[in-house]
Amino acid sequence: MTEEQLKQFEEILLKRKEEIQKTMHDRAQEIKELKTTDASDEADFATISTDSEIERTISTKLMNELKEIDYALHKISNKTYGICEMCEEPIGVARLQVKPQAKYCIVCREIVEKSA
């Protein structure tokens, strides 16, 4: 992988990290505002409860993606980015374009998913 490609992937990862952080901040504000509104009946309480549960699920997924991105950025800094963690072969650029924080090449990803 060229230095230029590494720089491009780093920029993509940093941009996505920023988007996730903004989304999480905005959603936290929305939930906070929702909780401070006057719930007048059981339907309002149910809506708030459901929204909070959905928010927790989304936040968990976003936090996991954020950890993957931070790990990928770490790998860029220590020059191991783009190397499969299982077979230690290069991960294809096309795969990294789809999922820049990928830890495994396509073949190894399938093995990991089947064993999970």
In single-letter form, the type of residue at position 78 comes to N
What backbone phi and psi angles, to 5 degrees, belong to 90? -60, 140
Full residue range of the structural domain in which residue 107 is found: 83-116
Better-predicted residue by pLDDT, 115 or 46: 115
- Shared domain check, 91 and 105: yes
| Of 1-5, 44-48, 65-69, minimum mean pLDDT range | 44-48
Looking at the fold, whether 72 and 89 belong to one and the same domain comes out as: no
For Cα atoms 72, 60, 49, give the angle at the middle one, nearest 5 degrees. 165
Task: Report the alpha-carbon distance of residue 81 to residue 27 in Å, rounded.
Answer: 31
Mean pLDDT, the chain, rounded, equals: 87
The pTM assigned to this predicted structure is: 0.80
Please check whether residues 75 and 87 belong to one and the same domain: no
Same domain, 33 and 46: yes
At 55, list the tokens: 């928010």
pLDDT band with cut points at 50, 70 and 90 for residue 31: confident
Please name which of 53, 59, 57, 48 lies closest in space to residue 20, comparing C-alpha atoms.
59
Grade residue 104 by pLDDT with cuts at 50, 70 and 90: very high
Hey, which bits of the chain come out as E strands?
none
